[in-house]
A and B are shown apart, each in its own frame.
Chain A
């Protein structure tokens, strides 16, 4: 009796164990990854390769529009939802991490042997971690803006070398319009919350040694730009529209990679743009398809300089793990896979890897001159707020709704007020 019972329970136990093993084998761990760039199909292909190598992990790909990426993830993370892995702009990580949206990655970085790489090879680790050293994001790609121009149009306008100062650039733009009838520097000046003019204003301020937010020697965050200096940048860009050598249509365009710019470059209607490298790649692809066999008329170079040199920012993408991810370890395995060189050479070809050893030439020179967001991101005013406010302020100047001084004063006061709230 007793033995039968024992045998019975033994059998039962065995079948339970077997059953569990079977379920385990069949039901791979699901990791969801929200990837927002255009290379969806390519990343899916890459992840299929990953799944073959790691049959215990199944990666589900999602996508959301970049303009909704941040708020949606914050909303979801606040209630323990959302994808396991998120895809973000470099500047989004810190504020989102502080809001508690992300998992602390320090242990996973150590466990998966990325510690050395983290210290030596990754760019933008300052944007990926908090002041106390908590790692909230893994830098995935880097990029920056460089000037892209049409050599033929510049030659037709009688411009032998690409302008080196802001004033020269404006003069060249004017000259292109006068001599060729085409748009000179076609920068998008729309004022949506993810506008481009924010970058151009900052490039202008930084090259002069100014900044919306800086860190004083005593460690306090301060504004390092006066109302007049803010207004100077607004006025500088505004003359492009007033004199008519930037296209008024671009007043409604916010995106630095907008179709208006790409088509304008491909068709030779715009002579100069400032844009990330993947946009240049798109221009070249479109040009190749449209005019097979013709050599590219495009070249790239650095932005104008002033006494602080030519300054752009290090931008790009980071990956982060949701604070409420059910399988953080598997999620990190996916991230680790996505850092491999072949991802950038075969699949995610529009972007440059954030690891120095993997980067290529191209925008190389500008990247050397690029600065980190630094005090902008470590300071108390969230970048998205300044980004939105700057775009709105500049927009109201370009459309003549406000004078540059009024708009500059409003922006200055807003940031000052935010800074003043911190003791």
Chain B
């Protein structure tokens, strides 16, 4: 399969000439369609509901009526300084994703294209990072970062998120690179192109869909991370959205409208990012995670 020049980026439906011709709906089909409808509702309803609920007033939220839509929840949420946390989440996630993707691309290139001693061992070590229970890292990382003065800094949490995302990103990217023909970059190297330029001029553009998918996935991971943020960001002005959302949820239970508004805003950026990218995303993930 490796001989195939490009992975299945364009998701082409299989040819089904027989299926095209029939038009009448059979009972079996109806059942399938009904199942599809139910699945769709179950999948979409919960998230959609948060967006609806965030526009409801406290009273209608509890009584379940659908009247009385209001922007009050958002107004009060922003008045309580939620904007700062949106900014924090964006800065931290974007910075972490940029660095992590850069680091992972060059590491993946080396793993995929070079032979060197201990390669299998080092690669195995990196991959094991995926299987590591984060919970046991919290205290040691906290102590280390405290000694280095990295608590409550963008730098600290970004370093943490870069480390958290590298193993999976390297895995996806190496998988993706395996589907990029070697002849291209080998040719360039024979032509005398410096190795580092080969990565950026030749390999990177070809593997861009894979890079985008990897970066998007890493973004979701950073954006929704809770455990490390809880330990490493304790000053209000440094906190990310999940922390504030849970604090609202766990403590100030009288402000349900604001909880819903905060939840909606936390869910929005990944949705906005994922939806337009959907084909690229599944193709990229598949190329990395599933090789035929």
Give residues in A with beta carbon < 8 Å to B: 32, 34, 36, 38, 40-41, 60-68, 72, 75-76, 78-83, 255, 257-259, 262-263, 267, 282, 286, 290
Q: B130-157: which have CB < 8 Å to A?
A: 139, 142-143, 146-147, 151
Partner of B250, one of A65, A76, A80: A65
**Residues of A with C-beta under 8 A to B80:** 40-41
Residues in B whose Cβ lies below 8 Å from that of A83: 234-235
Looking at the assembled complex, report how far the CB atom of A335 sits from the nearest CB atom of chain B, in whole angstroms: 19
* A62→B230 CA distance, assembly (Å): 14
Residue of A nearest to B145 (CB): A79
Q: How far is the CA of A61 from the CA of B237 in the complex (A)?
A: 9
Asked whether B236 lies within 8 Å of A66 as measured between CB atoms, the reply is: no
In the bound complex, do residue B247 and residue A64 qualify as a contact, i.e. CB atoms below 8 Å apart? yes
**B139, A63: Cβ atoms closer than 8 Å:** no
Evaluate contact between B253 and A75: CB separation under 8 angstroms: no
Residue pair A82, B234 in contact (C-beta under 8 Å): yes
Chain A nearest CB from B72 CB (Å) reads 13
When chains A and B are docked, how far (Å) is the Cα of A257 from the Cα of B146? 35
A34 vs B151: C-alpha distance in the bound complex, in angstroms? 16
In the bound complex, how far is the Cα of B252 from the Cα of A183, in angstroms?
A: 24
Which of B59, B146, B247, B256 contacts A65, CB < 8 Å?
A: B247
Asked whether B250 lies within 8 Å of A38 as measured between CB atoms, the reply is: no
Assembly CA distance A66 to B147 (angstroms): 26
Q: Contacts A76-B146, A81-B151, A259-B256; is A67 near B59 (CB within 8 Å)?
A: no
Instruction: Give the nearest-CB partner of A253 in chain B.
Output: B253
| Contact partner, A79, options B142, B251, B252, Cβ 8 Å | B142
Contact of A76 among B62, B151, B247, B251 (CB under 8 A): B151
Q: Which residue of A lies closest to B230 (CB)?
A: A68
Given contacts A76-B151, A79-B147, A81-B151, A65 and B251 within 8 Å (CB-CB): yes
Q: Which of B80, B143, B147, B253 has the most CB of A within 10 A?
A: B253
Selected from A65, A72, A82, A286, the residue in CB contact (under 8 A) with B231 is: A72
Is B236 a contact partner of A75 (Cβ separation < 8 A)? Answer: no
Complex interface: chain B residues within 8 A of A76 (CB) = 146, 151, 234
**In whole Å, how far is B60's beta carbon from the nearest beta carbon of chain A?**
12
Determine the chain B residues whose CB is within 8 A of the CB of A262 once the complex forms: 253-254
Residues from chain B with Cβ under 8 Å of A267 in the complex: 62
B49 at the interface (CB under 8 A from A): no
Give the contacts of B226-269 with A (CB-CB under 8 A).
230-231, 234-236, 246-247, 250-254, 256
Given contacts A75-B139, A75-B231, contact A282 B236 (CB under 8 A): no
- Cβ of A75 and Cβ of B251 under 8 Å apart? no
Q: CA of A223 to CA of B163 in the docked complex: distance in angstroms?
A: 48
Q: Which residue of A lies closest to B151 (CB)?
A: A81
Q: Which residue of A lies closest to B142 (CB)?
A: A75
Whether B253 contacts A255 by the Cβ 8 Å rule is: yes
Inter-chain CA distance A61–B250, complex, in Å, is: 20
Question: Are A61 and B236 neighbours in the complex by a CB distance under 8 Å?
Answer: yes
Q: A159 vs B70: C-alpha distance in the bound complex, in angstroms? A: 42
Measured between beta carbons, the chain A residues less than 8 angstroms from B236 are 61-63
| B162 → chain A closest CB, angstroms | 22
Taking a contact as CB atoms closer than 8 A, the residue among A60, A61, A79 that contacts B146 in the complex is: A79
Q: Which 9 A-B pairs have the closest CB atoms?
A: A79-B146, A259-B253, A65-B247, A62-B236, A63-B236, A65-B251, A65-B250, A81-B146, A62-B235
Q: Are A290 and B59 in contact (CB under 8 A)?
A: yes
Q: Is the CB of B256 within 8 A of A79?
A: no
Rounded to whole angstroms, the CA-CA distance of A38 and B235 in the bound complex is 16
- Selected from A40, A61, A282, the residue in CB contact (under 8 A) with B254 is A282
Residues of B within 8 A of A (CB): 59, 62, 80, 139, 142-143, 146-147, 151, 230-231, 234-236, 246-247, 250-254, 256
A-B contact pairs, 27 of them (CB 8 A): A32-B235, A34-B234, A38-B254, A40-B80, A62-B234, A62-B235, A62-B236, A63-B236, A64-B247, A65-B246, A65-B247, A66-B250, A67-B250, A72-B234, A75-B139, A75-B142, A76-B151, A79-B147, A81-B151, A255-B253, A258-B253, A259-B253, A262-B253, A262-B254, A263-B62, A286-B254, A290-B59
Q: Which residues of B contact A282 (CB under 8 A)?
A: 254
Residues in B neighbouring A263, C-beta threshold 8 A: 62
Could you say which residues of chain A place their CB within 8 Å of the CB of B143? 78-79
Please report the C-alpha to C-alpha distance between residue A67 and residue B142 in the assembled complex, in whole angstroms: 18
Residues from chain B with a CB closer than 8 A to the CB of A258 are 253
Q: In whole angstroms, what is the CA distance A34 to B236 when docked?
A: 9
Chain B residues within 8 Å of A82, by CB: 234
Residues of B within 8 A of A286 (CB): 254
Which B residue sits closest to A76, measured CB to CB?
B234
Residue among A32, A65, A82, A290 with most chain B CB within 10 A = A65
By a CB distance below 8 angstroms, the chain A residues around B139 are 75
Q: For A80, what are the chain B residues with a Cβ–Cβ distance below 8 Å?
A: 146
* Alpha-carbon separation in the docked complex, A64 to B234 (Å): 7
A65 to B230, CA, bound (A): 10
Which residues does chain A contribute within 8 Å of B147, judged by CB atoms? Answer: 79
Nearest Cβ in chain B — how far from A186, in angstroms?
Answer: 15
CB distance from B178 to the nearest CB of A (A): 43
Cβ distance B281 to chain A, nearest Cβ, rounded Å = 33
Given A60-B235, A63-B247, 7 more A-B residue pairs with CB atoms under 8 Å apart are A36-B251, A62-B236, A65-B250, A75-B139, A81-B146, A259-B253, A267-B62
Among B62, B142, B143, B235, chain A packs the most CB atoms within 10 A around the CB of: B235
Nearest chain A residue, comparing its CB with the CB of B252: A38
B-chain residues with CB within 8 Å of residue A64 when the two chains form the complex? 234, 247
How distant is the Cα of A63 from the Cα of B235 in the complex, in angstroms?
7
What's the minimum C-beta distance from B287 to chain A, rounded to whole angstroms? Answer: 40
Residue of B nearest to A37 (CB): B251
Q: How far is the CB of B148 from chain A (nearest CB, A)?
A: 10
Contacts of B59 in A (CB 8 A): 290
CB distance from A256 to the nearest CB of B (A): 11
In the complex, which residues of chain A have a beta carbon less than 8 angstroms from the beta carbon of B62?
A: 263, 267
* A65 to B139 alpha-carbon distance, docked (Å): 19
Chain B residues, Cβ within 8 Å of A259: 253-254, 256
In the assembled complex, how far is the CB of residue B11 from the closest CB belonging to chain A, in whole angstroms?
Answer: 43
Report the minimal beta-carbon distance from A89 to chain B, rounded to whole angstroms.
Answer: 13
User: Could you say which of A34, A62, A63, A257 contacts B253, with CB atoms under 8 Å apart?
Assistant: A257
